Structure 1
Amino acid sequence: MPHGKHSTIYSTREIYNLLRVHHQRVPWHKEVWFSKGIPRHKFLSWLFVLDRCPTKDRMMEWGFATDPMCILCNSGLESRDHLYFSCSYTWDIWYSVAGRSGFSSPRVWNEILRHLQKLNTPTHTRLLVLLAWQASIYCIWAERNARLHRSRFRPPSAIVKEIHTIVKLRIASIRIDDPHLASVLFQAWVS
């Protein structure tokens, strides 16, 4: 009896909408939860937008004794805002990737998010920028963790190459459902 009315048809969607808590949408939801994105990249981006990942500044707040210096550049205290993209190491990566996707990016996290929200470009360009942004977040976090936990160090050029490959593979997977969009994306990415 949804809404107190007898119904002979069961709808999972209707029951779900009755049970879930309705909140006002956040202004950045389209930049994180866009269609055609890579699910694990979207999830990690969401955690970073909320500042919920275990960066060293947060771990210190929790009482863990840890070296607060950024393991990527060794010149700043590790925080979300430092990692994305005040750190010289990550800025080299993002500057290269953003340029390739046609995005003139600021260097400060909140400004980047605001610029992405206001990005008024064709659909394929916006999709390319968001794919590149999320792939950068994912690959930089993976590099940070590889250095921290496995003592594996790679130069920024290797991360840029990995991001380039990830975006190309994602474009290739889009070709199945939308060959025209994939073609436009591929031409924009490799040009």
Structure 2
Amino acid sequence: METVTYCLFNQQYVILFECSFSYQIWQVMVMAARSGLQARPQWEETVNQLLSLTGNRNRRRLMLLAWQSTIYSIWRERNLRINQHVFRSTDTIITFLDRQIRNQIQSFRESRPRQVSLLMQLWFSTG
């Protein structure tokens, strides 16, 4: 736990997914988004992968949403640990991320119902 705490408090490692705690979460989210990417712990490699995403537009959108949500959640976890001494497991954060992504997709329902349906199907698909 001490290593996880240090690595989450060290800003350099949190954002770069070089911390095993945050990288574990990132790996699950990359698989869940079904983008065909492989999770990388290095920030620059991750950004380059995201910039060069090709193929299905909805898969790209879902991958970028997963990336944004993962960064937000890891940073939120860091702040909770520092300021409120709340420590959550990777499984808890992944469950939170799944719910958050579903909610974000659903927030477009009125303006883009077809796209929401496709994104939700993709998110729930098994590969």
Is this a same-fold pair by TM over 0.5? yes
Paired with 2:93 and 2:100, the residues of 1 have a C-alpha distance of 10
- One of 117, 120, 123 as aligned partner of 1:183: 117
Matching of residues 1-191 of structure 1 within 5 Å: 72-74=4-6, 78-80=10-12, 82-83=13-14, 84-102=16-34, 103-191=37-125
Q: Select the structure of larger CA radius of gyration.
A: 1
Q: TM-score, normalised by structure 2?
A: 0.87
SS in 2 for 1:177: coil
Paired with 1:140 and 1:76, the residues of 2 have a C-alpha distance of 8
| Offset at residue 73 of structure 1 (A) | 4.5
1:71–1:141: structure 2 CA closer, same or farther, 3 Å change rule? farther
The root-mean-square deviation of aligned C-alpha atoms, in Å, is: 1.9
How high is the sequence identity, in percent, across the aligned residues? 30
Please tell me the residue identity of whatever aligns with 2:24.
D
1:176–1:77: structure 2 CA closer, same or farther, 3 Å change rule? closer
Aligned to 1:8: none
Q: TM-score, normalised by structure 1?
A: 0.59
Aligned to 1:18: none
Paired with 1:77 and 1:162, the residues of 2 have a C-alpha distance of 21
Paired with 2:100 and 2:19, the residues of 1 have a C-alpha distance of 22
| Offset at residue 76 of structure 1 (A) | 8.5
Q: How many residues align?
A: 121
Give the gaps of 5 or more residues in structure 1.
1-69
| Offset at residue 106 of structure 1 (A) | 1.6
| Offset at residue 190 of structure 1 (A) | 1.2
Paired with 2:98 and 2:8, the residues of 1 have a C-alpha distance of 27
Would you tell me which structure has more helix in proportion to its own residues?
A: 2
1:75–1:169: structure 2 CA closer, same or farther, 3 Å change rule? closer
Paired with 1:148 and 1:72, the residues of 2 have a C-alpha distance of 12
Q: Deviations over 1:153-185 (max 9, x none)?
A: 000011111111111001111121111111110
1:176–1:107: structure 2 CA closer, same or farther, 3 Å change rule? same
Paired with 2:33 and 2:21, the residues of 1 have a C-alpha distance of 19
| Offset at residue 74 of structure 1 (A) | 3.3
SS in 1 for 2:107: helix
Greater RCO structure (CA 8 Å; 6+ sep): 2
Aligned to 1:57: none
Paired with 2:65 and 2:118, the residues of 1 have a C-alpha distance of 14
SS in 2 for 1:120: coil
| Offset at residue 122 of structure 1 (A) | 1.1
